[in-house]
A = this chain, B = another copy of it.
């Protein structure tokens, strides 16, 4: 069994409306000195594949569904459980 962890962030310079909204809400709750809030997606995918084949497959999932390379950067980690 493999576990793939994928973090999908907005690229620097791309607007992050959810992050801005959370920053604003925190300020309304009286938290000061917040410079920035960024929100990312964090996917955990469990799959039954050998390691090398699984890595290739997860890269394909990223390309086909999870990441839009125009606006996103991502990190990927695949480990055997």
Contact residues of A with B, CB < 8 Å? 1, 7, 19, 22, 25-26, 29, 31, 33-49, 57, 60-61, 64-66
Contact = CB atoms under 8 A, between A and B. Distances in A.
B42 A41 contact: yes
B1 A65 contact: no
A48 B65 contact: no
B41 A46 contact: no
Contact of A33 (B22, B34, B35, B48): B48
B41 A57 contact: no
B35 A46 contact: yes
B37 A44 contact: yes
A60 B22 CA distance: 14
